[in-house]
Amino acid sequence: MIVVTEVSKGYGARTLFDNVSAKFSPGNRYGLTGPNGSGKSTFMKILSGEYEPSNRGIINRPRRVGVLKQDQFAYDNERIVDTVVMGNDVLWKAFKERDALCELSEHTTEQIDRLVQLEQIIADENGYTAEFEASEILRGIGIEDSKHENLMSTLATDFKFRVLLAQALFAGPQALLLDEPTNHLDLDSIHWLEEFLHDYEGVLIVISHDRHFLNAVCTHIADIDYDTIIIYPGNYDDMVSQKIQARETIEQDNKDKAKKIAQLQEFVARFAAGQRSSQVQSRRKEMARLAPQELKRSNIQRPFIRFEQEKAMGRDIIHIQGMNKAFDDKVVLKNFNLDVKRGDRIAIIGSNGVGKTTLLRLLLGEIKPDAGTIKWGDNASWSYYPQDYHDDIKPGGSALDWLMQFSEKGDIQFVRGLLGRMLFSGDESLKRTEALSGGEAARLLMAKMMMVKNPILVFDEPTNHLDLEAVSALAEGLSEFPGTVLLVSHDRDLISDVATRVLSFTDKGIVDFPGTYEEYLERHQFKTRAKQTAAKK
């Protein structure tokens, strides 16, 4: 169990959460939610002990807490099995210190005593079976024995994540803290993670912008809002429903109170100077008792995302014929053909590393095909949202300055209004580009796409830095866009809301499915069940 008692955290004059007390119980799976900047990652780091509260609040945590590391490339020069063992920090430090002492040609008495102490620490931490236990976990997450001695750099991104999850689980943690575990995972890996977490028996606290994931995994939601953290039973959709209902109840109660107070005020005004002073006093006391409950301002904010096109294109958008692309011995595309029509909203899905981003870069002319042709329709123009925004948003100016450079008319009031719709209100539009959070940079890029009004929108993993409200707003904006959309994403709700066509990279080639994501899944699951039935026969 993790118990939080009267914990507060703020920066300067800004309060993230104040005087929070909460219990997180074993066997429950908590989603930690709130908009970008609400303090989710900060609270998670307080739970792990990496940050201290602003006050003297108390955190009681189990001895063994597993924390998912965020940098998937930090261990590239380490063996895979060693990366897992590093999940027990005490054991790993003892190993390193012992090995350093053993390399010395001569030892002092103090060094010999220290070696004895280190061997005892290693024994206490089950160090002599550590590699065996780490290998068992690696097998469980789908990494065969022959790869355990390899360097982390040899793994694809999604399998690096699995190793980091194994690292967090290695010491048998009684609590598991996961901050955005679905980032950079493909749909199959997310499904694997959901099943994995369902079997975890300790305290799970997870931050995610993936609503489908939260609904599938969580038994409770710990929501940061109103300067505190409120725990709701159920999944994310249950929390939203309860939160709306609770606020509507208070608002209706306040309306009823205001109506009653108005009646009492009328009585007091009529008879305050008359002979009914006792009744007037009684009415005044009743008015004081009926004072409306103060409603704190919710920190949930939703951007207003609407994409328009200045001028519609013709019916034919892209024609690809016989396209090949390979990198060394890895074939990404072979004799690939594709026709994109006006109004298509195509979701491009598949495992990490199969070529989804490569396909977008080929279409946009950033790289050349080895063979074949790509023909765009007449007067084609597009807006592109890349995975990494740093090449587009350079440091050295404000968000307003950056967006103004794309305004043909130079209308600063229009640009400020657009920034306001994307939650850069007031002085927030003057925030320096180098200081933007991932979510702010994502919204700024989308503001540019909204302003230039191109008829083709191309997105490569747009949800990686967006909070749940922004993802929902993006889905609404794309579903209402009259132009053409190419969307690489692992967010199932976004794909479901937007896609009218699915381009799926599979082990047997690229499947071009003319229908929604749900229809694609139904067809895919039908084929899977048919294969399983045939195999049993």
pLDDT of 171: 80
Residue pointed to by tokens 């002319």:
365
With beta carbons less than 8 A apart as the criterion, state whether 415 and 407 touch: yes
Q: Which two tokens stand for residue 470?
A: 């922004």
Provide the CA 361 distance to its chain's centre, in angstroms. 24
Structure confidence at residue 527 (pLDDT):
52
AA identity, residue 311: K
Please, what are the domains in the chain?
A: 1-63+174-234 (3.40.50.300), 247-289 (no CATH), 316-393+436-532 (3.40.50.300)
What are 130-140's pLDDT values in tens digits?
Answer: 999 999 888 88
Contact (CB, 8 A) for 469 and 371: no
Residue with tokens 């749940």: 468
11's enclosing H/E stretch is strand 2-11
Q: Tokens at residue 527, please?
A: 């084929």
The pair of structure tokens assigned to 219 is 């038994």
DSSP state of 398: B
d(CA 277, CA 270): 11
CA distance 67 to 65: 6
User: Contact at 8 Å (CB) between 385 and 459?
Assistant: yes
**What amino acid is encoded at 376 in this protein?**
W
- In the predicted model, residues of the chain with pLDDT beneath 50 are 528-537
Q: Is 410 left (phi over 0), alpha (psi -120 to 50) or beta?
A: left
Q: Residue 271's closest CA among 260, 259, 283?
A: 283
Token digits of residue 437:
């959070």
Integer Cα distance of 158 and 152 in angstroms: 12
Amino acid 114: pLDDT: 94
Q: Which residues contact 342 (CB under 8 A, 6 or more apart)?
A: 312, 313, 314, 315, 316, 317, 455, 483, 484
**Chain segment 191-211, per-residue pLDDT in tens:** 888 888 898 899 999 999 888
Strands 345-350 and 484-488: parallel
Tokens of 518: 């749900």
Q: Residue type at 68?
A: L
Give the tokens for residue 46: 């307080």
Q: How far apart, in Å, are the Cα atoms of 323 and each of 79, 338, 351, 362, 374?
A: 38, 9, 20, 10, 8
15 dihedral zone (left: phi>0; alpha: psi -120 to 50; beta):
beta
Q: Closest Cα to residue 81, out of 145, 161, 124, 126?
A: 145
218 Cα distance to chain centroid: 15
Q: H-type helices in 345-462, by residue range? A: 356-363, 399-404, 412-421, 438-452
For 474-496, b/e burial (b = at least 16 CB within 10 A) is bbbbbeebebbbbbbbbbbbbbe
Helix (H, G, I), strand (E, B) or coil at 159: helix
